[in-house]
A = this chain, B = another copy of it.
Amino acid sequence: MGEGMPTMLYDHGAVPICRAERGGRVESVHLGHAVVVGPDGVREAWGDPSAAIFPRSSCKMFQALPMLEAGLDPGPERLALACASHDGAAIHTGRVGAWMRDLGLSDDDFRCGAHEPKDRAARDALIRSGEGPRQVHNNCSGKHAGFLAMTKHLGAGPDYVDPGHPLQRAVRAAFEEVTGEESPGYGIDGCSAPNFVCTLEGLARGAMRFATAREGDARGRAMIAAREAMMRHPDLVAGEGRACTVLMRATSEPVALKTGAEGVFLAILPGRGLGVAVKAADGATRAAESAVAEILVRLGALDPAHPGARAFRDPVQRNWRGIETGRIAPAL
């Protein structure tokens, strides 16, 4: 953890990935890095694909591999939730809660912490009930239910987010194999799990491996199961109105998409055998969303005129009275 000097992202030649415009002028600019990887290596890159990043929640499908490769099959809905950063809507918390009950576990067994659901209806219902949020409302609770399923399978101790826990050692091994890199270290994520460092290219390489997976071995079957679960249940991977959900519904071919905090986005394109990774150097979600949508358009997997594309690639910005004030403009 924290070996050596901090990586200086801005020394890595980050380039403009999108602009926020107001009144026809540029108000803010987002710099970042992006890369498209195929089986033969880097197809296209913006900025520096060797920049070291925390993939954050974008790599949840990597973290699900030990569970799947051990032969645990939660089914597509729970698997989509294991790969999700969900809104805490009833469709999410109901399914995660049922999974926990099936495991014989309760909300207290989570180690992700509690926060308010992003879903407005769920949030308002919780506030009206007078109850505080529970850990099942945490956007990572599906991943943690998967972690707990694997922990139970391993017969390991309850502190499954400890980097030395057998589960996290297995996650690190899978992460390094999939990215093709030895991780130089980790940070603690918002949900308390270790989040391993990789290069942006390594993250896209992992996505490419999910895109090109074959049924021939346990890893290939696990990768296919994860990407198919995500593509089948876009509403479980995030929530109504969220980028992952909206863009997965908008693409003209099946694509698995996953956001990560601090401006990360990952795309798995099975039809083309490609993996994509984006990192906004400043950590801005709006920039990563716009850039991944722009790359999907460039690859021919997303119609820029589709309302779902418009909502994230180049969204019109409106104020509290609905008046158009500007737009986000792709700049790759």
Contact = CB atoms under 8 A, between A and B. Distances in A.
Interface of A: 1-3, 6-10, 14, 16, 19-31, 52-54, 111-115, 124, 127-128, 138, 185-192, 195, 197, 262-263, 280-284, 287, 319-326
Nearest to A115: B320
Given A7-B25, A22-B188, A29-B281, 20 more contacts: A6-B21, A6-B24, A7-B26, A9-B26, A10-B31, A22-B187, A23-B195, A24-B185, A25-B187, A31-B282, A112-B320, A113-B322, A124-B127, A127-B127, A138-B320, A187-B326, A188-B323, A189-B319, A190-B325, A284-B284
A192 B325 CA distance: 8
Contacts of A190: 319-320, 325
A54 B6 contact: no
Determine the main DSSP class of A at the interface with B.
Answer: loop
A27 B10 contact: no
Contacts of A52: 25
11 contacts: A9-B26, A10-B29, A10-B31, A22-B187, A22-B195, A23-B195, A28-B262, A29-B281, A187-B325, A188-B323, A191-B319
Nearest to A15: B10
Contacts of A322: 113
A54 B325 CA distance: 12
In the A-B complex, the 6 residue pairs with the closest CB atoms: A2-B24, A113-B320, A23-B187, A28-B283, A22-B187, A113-B321
Contacts of A284: 282-284
A26 to B, nearest CB: 4
Contacts of A192: 319-321, 323
A27 B185 CA distance: 13
Nearest to A28: B283
Contacts of A188: 22-23, 319, 323-325
Nearest to A128: B128
A10 B6 contact: no
A25 B185 contact: yes
Nearest to A186: B23
Contact of A25 (B2, B10, B325): B2
Tell me which of A1, A24, A280, A282 has the highest count of chain B C-beta atoms within 10 A of its own C-beta.
A282
A112 B321 CA distance: 7
Nearest to A140: B320
Q: Could you say which of A186, A262, A283, A322 has the most chain B C-beta atoms within 10 Å of its C-beta? A: A283
B138 A27 contact: no
A71 to B, nearest CB: 31
